[in-house]
Amino acid sequence: MKKNLALLLIATGILGGCEQFNQEASVQSSQSAETSSSSVSLTPEEEQKLAEEAEHQAMLDALPDASTEDWNLELVNNWTKIDESIERPLSALPNSNGLLVDQRIIEEYTAMTDAGKEAGHEIIAVSTFRSVELQTTNYNNSIQKYVDEGHSKEEAVKLTEDYIAIPGGSEHHTGLAIDVMDTEWLNSGKGLIAEFDTQASQQWLVEHAADYGFVLRFPKGKEAETGIEYESWHFRYVGKENAAYMKNYNLSLEEYIALLNEAGK
């Protein structure tokens, strides 16, 4: 009896010791894992990369319900020629001496210029739809002008293409682009030059155009993406949701289309 009791006490002590050992081992393992985790730190470059990836994913998640196939997102540039087989519903813009645009943008453009007028800005369209034939004439005339000024043919082409799209690559072929000035600027004879952005009317447009579905198509800092130098006068219709998104994220149309493609839209 005493012998059995002694054996029982010994066994209990061993089991208790095992349980205590297991608990201590578990605590040590947890502490080791925490120490290991805390010892792994990211470099500033890795942290920046993770932040950029998170920001990019947030942009994708916030994309409007749009498609690269939408008529108002048609991309035309020096790398993407106009599809001349598409029939475009062109109509004359009111009070523009017959300038043609895609008739689907007239209501929003008129609303925008009416709002501008209420704000004290007399905004007028000076160039809208252009056929490929007319663009060819403009393109060739520009090259010849630079040659006549003493530039080589190569220099003349480069200077021309800084501001004039190659025939077939102009947004004006779509009927969705409008070059604008205000009456004061027009009467000054200064024309379509970057300094138009000193005008309050241009600044008003940059601030409010997205409310009507328009964006400044060739902004500063996006020359590499668009292939065209800064044009303070060239506005393009893309639709309200698209314009708001592009303005919010400071995107050119090329960048926006790339995001839509990435998202499979």
Q: Where are the domains of the chain?
A: 2-57, 74-130+170-262
Which pLDDT band holds residue 11 (cuts at 50, 70, 90)?
very low
Average pLDDT across the chain, whole number: 87
Q: How many helices (H) and strands (E) does the chain have?
A: 10, 6
Mean pLDDT throughout 99-127? 98
Q: Does domain 74-130+170-262 have CATH number 3.30.1380.10?
A: yes
Q: What is the pLDDT of residues 147-178, one digit of tens each?
A: 999 999 899 999 888 888 889 999 999 999 99
Q: Could you give the residue numbers annotated as active site?
A: 231
- Lowest-confidence pick of 114-118, 119-123, 144-148, 163-167: 163-167
Q: What is the pLDDT of residues 28-63, one digit of tens each?
A: 544 544 444 445 798 988 889 999 999 999 999 999
Which pLDDT band holds residue 5 (cuts at 50, 70, 90)?
very low
pTM of the model: 0.79
Contact present, 183 and 199 (Cβ < 8 Å): no
pLDDT score of 221:
96
